[in-house]
Structure 1
Amino acid sequence: MRAVARRGLEAGGCRVVGEAATADEAVALVVEHRPNVALLDIHMPGNGIRAADDISRSVPTTAIVMLTQSREDDDLFDSLRAGAVGYLLKDAPPQSLADTLRGVLAGEAAMPSALVTRILDEFRGPARRRFGRGSPAAAKLSTREWEVMDLLRQGNSTDDVAGRLFLSPTTVRVHVSSVLRKLAVRDRASAFRLLEE
């Protein structure tokens, strides 16, 4: 993966000043070379999120961008809290990497739009989304439960919701069960009625 990323960056006119196999090596290279951007893998040996935190404290002028396969909310939010200014998925075309990193240096967000939506949803909280904004039922749901129920209410199937939120269908059903329990109702239709009040 490092070789693919390097080829994409160099083909796009970027100069790569170092490569690291572990989090500790990455931090040491950034401290030594002070590059404009550090591209880190979340699951690199030693933990890429820890490396991001160390780099953001040691060399705050280096922009940190995570390159990962993970679409998990925890990884996304932990990366941002550690100081990352971008979060890219490994399935992005390598030839676009150089332009994306130039955009980061120009102050642009480097993140797929589906993940930006998750950040906005987390920031707004469940009571500000598309069901009844002030309903007591809304306040009982987590962000992810709210997303699942809203997509189901729009007519999406369990499999559709799973695909859109990068979850398994089983996880979607677990969220629905949790909502029904929290709202003390027996079925989705009853839950939708409460949430629309």
Structure 2
Amino acid sequence: MTAEPRRVVMADDHPQLRAHIRHALEAGGFEVCAEAGTGPEAVRLAQEYEPDVVLLDIHMPGSGIRAAAEISRLLPATAIVMLTVSRDDNDLFDSLRAGASGYLLKDTDPERLPAALRGVLSGEAAIPRALVARILDEFRDPGKRRLGRRSKPASLLSSREWEVMALLAEGLTTDEVAKRLFLSPTTVRVHISSVLRKLRVKDRQSALDLLREEP
């Protein structure tokens, strides 16, 4: 008898990205039983469907990390995997502390997602090698200075502005950021201008330097 497909609730505030992920997961033998666009909605749907896996964006409205912590508390048998653009150490460690068993980047080939989720359901941790190295570094040097999301300047930014700046910090161009976030280049430039205004700096590099300051 054929086994029932593993069930997934996915949450991301980008409908187009959700459609790509749904297609990849269903092609890989998973059943996407519900989609959410906010953290609270993800918690509600997880309770309703009790899926095998919840796939969460971090910087969606309502916070994916808060949603992960709540789902982990309410549904300890449900695996939680974060899917995000953020390579920030704080986001990575906060996700793991909230109960996530995986931390995948949105530039991951969607066709690899089913295998990654199956690995999580088999007891493996789905974390890119580069981020595993950061976890090891944290254990080797727990006092090491980490940069990013919790700095005072970063707290002034919206989640979308932070995503844009995080990708610029990785070296992506405006057009590449737009493609990654399913935005127009004009919209990306509007977000960058808003960041410069909020941080009271004149250029992108100055903004990035300020966001890298120690909290």
Q: Which residue of 2 aligns with 1:64?
A: 80
Superposition RMSD in Å: 2.4
Structure number with bigger Rg:
1
Q: Is the 8 A contact 1:125 1:143 kept in 2?
A: no
Count of aligned pairs between the two proteins: 141
Aligned residues with identical type, % of pairs:
61
- Distance, in Å, in 2 between the alignment partners of 1:117 and 1:166 is 17
Q: Which residue of 2 aligns with 1:136?
A: none
Q: Which residue of 2 aligns with 1:189?
A: none
Q: Is the 8 A contact 2:102 2:120 kept in 1?
A: yes
- Distance, in Å, in 1 between the alignment partners of 2:146 and 2:62 is 29
Q: Which residue of 1 aligns with 2:43?
A: 27
Q: Which residue of 1 aligns with 2:130?
A: 114
CA displacement at 1:123 relative to structure 2 = 1.0
Given the two structures, how large is their TM-score scaled by the length of structure 2?
0.60
CA displacement at 1:59 relative to structure 2 = 0.6
Task: Tell me the SS of whatever aligns to 1:107.
Answer: coil
- In the TM superposition, structure 1's runs of 4+ consecutive aligned residues that sit over 4 Å from their partners are 165-168
CA displacement at 1:144 relative to structure 2 = 5.3
Q: Which runs of 5+ in 2 are unaligned?
A: 1-16, 148-168, 172-204
Higher helix share: 1
Given the two structures, how large is their TM-score scaled by the length of structure 1?
0.66
Q: Residues 52, 73 of structure 1: CA spacing in aligned structure 2 closer, same or farther, 3 A cutoff? A: same
Selected match of 1:90 from 100, 106, 109? 106
CA displacement at 1:166 relative to structure 2 = 4.7
Deviation string 1:128-148 (CA, Å, 9 cap, x unpaired) is xxxxxxxxxxxxx72559xxx
Q: Which runs of 5+ in 1 are unaligned?
A: 127-140, 146-164, 179-197
